[in-house]
Amino acid sequence: MPAWLVVGLGNPGDRYADTRHNIGAWVVDRLADRLDARLRKVRFHAVDAAEARVDGETLYLVRTQSFMNESGPPTAGFAGKRGIEVENVIACHDEIDLPFGALKVKQGGSTAGHHGLDSLTRAFRSPGFHRVRLGVGRPSGRKDPAAFVLEPFAKAEREEAAFLADDGADAVLTLVREGLAAAQERFNRRAPQGR
């Protein structure tokens, strides 16, 4: 059976850990906790990775040590060494084009200018990977979206952001176990879940 690779997009270091841009990395951290897998530095690749099993399938969890807009080469290099095809890659990432708390699972398509997805598309020479899109919303007024995503979640948003990361982890596991259609049916939503 082909292995899966789940990459949580974000920026390395404590400075960025709680920012909107790093919610994809939160998903990988949640999966590592749930699957009792420890992320470790990988020799010759600028990634931290863990190997886990899900219903007999191998699942690699990856966070890059490079910044978001350079995340493609280390991810593709790690995947290539393990024979993982682009369609078995799942990128978890922040999405300003979805309202805060919304979630969508898809495969392929446009990157909508997301630099992490652009980097992955170039490195894999294909946009054919899966995406778990985690809605962080757009900034109000004239605030620059690039600055907005590098800010921490507001205090009032933190609980919902934690729920969103948990749902992202559930969506990844559903995608691996049951396929894209099942994950889309269960998790695609344009607004936050009622809690």
- Output the CA torsion 189→191→194→195 (10° steps): 90
pLDDT for residue 195: 53
For the entire predicted model, the pTM comes to 0.95
Q: What is the pLDDT of residue 140?
A: 84
Pull the structure tokens for residue 36. 């009792």
pLDDT averaged per 10 residues in sequence order, the chain, 195 residues: 92 94 97 96 90 94 95 96 96 96 96 94 97 94 88 93 97 97 92 64
Instruction: Please give the sequence-ordered ranges of beta strands (E in DSSP) within 20-164, or none if there are none.
Output: 40-41, 47-54, 57-64, 89-95, 103-107, 130-135
CATH superfamily name and code, 4-187 = Peptidyl-tRNA hydrolase (3.40.50.1470)
pLDDT value for 129: 98
Look at residue 187 in the predicted model and tell me its pLDDT.
95
Return the bridge partners of 60, or none: 5, 51
pLDDT reported for residue 163: 95
- Which of the residues 21, 93, 114, 130 is marked catalytic? 21
21 is an active site residue: yes
The helix/strand/coil state of 96 is: coil
Which residues have CB under 8 Å from 138's CB, separation 6+?
96, 97, 145, 148
Give the number of other CB atoms < 10 A from CB of residue 57: 14
What ranges do the domains of the chain cover?
4-187
What local confidence, expressed as pLDDT, does residue 1 receive?
A: 66
